[in-house]
Amino acid sequence: MDDKTLQQKLNRFVRLGNELDAEAKRRWGEEGLLFHEGDGGVVLMDILPEDNNKNDHVLFCAEGIAFWGAGAF
C-alpha cells in the first residue's frame, strides 16, 4: 500500500467512526457513543456507566476484535 492510499484509508476510518458516534448520539442523546473496549471489542452504547455494569448499556457490538491499540498519550 502506498502512502497516499494509506492516508485515504485512515481518513475514511476516522470519518466512519465519527459517523457511527454521531448516529449513537442521534439515537440515544449526548450519552450515546462509539466505544473501543480495552479487550478489542467495539460497541455502540447508550451511556458509559460508572458502576462497571456496562453490559446493560451495550446496544450493538462488532462481530470481530480490533487489534489496534487504544489509550491516551
How does pLDDT run across 57-69, given as a tens digit for each residue?
A: 889 999 999 998 8
**At residue 8, what are phi and psi to the nearest 5 degrees?**
-65, -45
Cα–Cα distances (Å) from 61 to 8, 11, 47, 57, in that order, read 26, 23, 14, 11
Q: Where are the domains of the chain?
A: 3-61
How does pLDDT run across 11-59, given as a tens digit for each residue?
A: 999 999 999 999 999 999 998 999 988 888 999 998 776 666 667 788 9
